Amino acid sequence: MSRPRQDFEITPDILLRAYSIGLFPMAESAEDQNLFWIDPEARGVFPLDGMIVPRKLARLVRSDRFEVRIDHDFEAVIDACASVGEGREKTWINHRIKKLYGQLFDLGRVHTVEAWHDGVLAGGLYGVALGAAFFGESMFHRQRDASKVALIHLAGRLVAGGFQLLDTQFVTPHLQSLGAIEVSKEAYRFMLADAVAGRGDFLVWPKDRTVPGREVLAALAASGDEID
């Protein structure tokens, strides 16, 4: 994995250009204000026609127990993703990362998918949209399965909006259980070029509309995803 450090200022335009060629930034820790570019030899992706939604998770999504909001509270989401706690001993999200992605959020390039329960943010994720590619950056949960519900809502939205690529950066056992796979750097670059040249509509479902879980699962099933 390439990790060249950089000392110059990264602008939103530079960051988007980096995503378009397969790079993304990280920090060693929240305290380290240096950033370095990551260029993995193997990349994690979710084939948008290959999501696996287990029966229990599908039942939870259909129940609409969590209210899923789009782009409602970016700062709360990135702060939660940056927090340490159970299962997360450190974070790579530092002040510069928060500032950069906040700027991209203001430009409409970063989006959040948030799972709320009884008025409290229970889980969610954020990522970058570029062409017909979506780059998932980080996710968190405070209630069981809240981040999974957010991920399924994200995937359904991407399918409905004509996206071609859902990038997960790396594959964890958790993501693999939902259909994530690893592809080589070379294969990823081909997928990326096609997706970035395409046109996806993240707001195909308006962000002020509450999308029922059944509609999300129907969009995934129509694309060939495995829904129990």
pLDDT tens readout for residues 129-170: 999 999 999 999 999 999 999 999 999 999 999 999 999 999
Helix (H/G/I), strand (E/B), else coil: 216? helix
Measure CA 101 to chain center: 13
Domain ranges, residue 182: 42-90+111-227
CATH of the domain at 47: 3.40.630.70
pLDDT higher than 60, residue 117: yes
Q: What is the pLDDT of residues 160-212, one digit of tens each?
A: 999 999 999 999 998 999 999 999 999 999 999 999 999 999 999 999 999 99
Q: Is residue 34 part of a domain?
A: no
- Which residue type sits at 46? F
Length of the chain: 228
Q: How far is Cα 32 from Cα 215, in angstroms, rounded to an integer? A: 43
Predicted pLDDT of residue 16: 97
Sign for the pseudo-dihedral over CA of 216, 199, 51, 79:
negative
Q: How far is Cα 75 from Cα 67, in angstroms, rounded to an integer? A: 18
**What are the helix (H) ranges across 120-161?**
146-160
The pLDDT of 18-22, averaged and rounded, is 96
14 CB neighbour count, 10 Å cutoff:
14
Q: Is residue 101 part of a domain?
A: no
Q: Is residue 73 part of a domain?
A: yes
Q: What is the pLDDT of residues 57-78, one digit of tens each?
A: 999 999 999 999 999 999 999 9
CB 83 within 8 A of CB 75: no
- Residues with Cβ within 8 Å of 173's Cβ and at least 6 positions away in sequence, in order, are none
Q: Is residue 12 part of a domain?
A: no
pLDDT higher than 60, residue 1: no
Provide the number of structural domains found in the chain. Answer: 1
More confident residue, 86 or 99: 99
Q: Is residue 47 part of a domain?
A: yes
CB 178 within 8 A of CB 158: no
Q: Is residue 97 part of a domain?
A: no
The pLDDT of 26-55, averaged and rounded, is 88
Q: Is residue 185 part of a domain?
A: yes
Predicted pLDDT of residue 2: 47
DSSP state of 213: H
pLDDT higher than 80, residue 228: no
Block residue for tokens 């995803």: 225
**What are the helix (H) ranges across the chain?**
12-20, 55-63, 74-82, 95-106, 146-160, 173-176, 185-197, 213-222
Predicted pLDDT of residue 86: 53
pLDDT higher than 70, residue 46: yes
Q: Is residue 15 part of a domain?
A: no
Predicted pLDDT of residue 225: 75
Predicted pLDDT of residue 224: 84
The pLDDT of 86-107, averaged and rounded, is 83
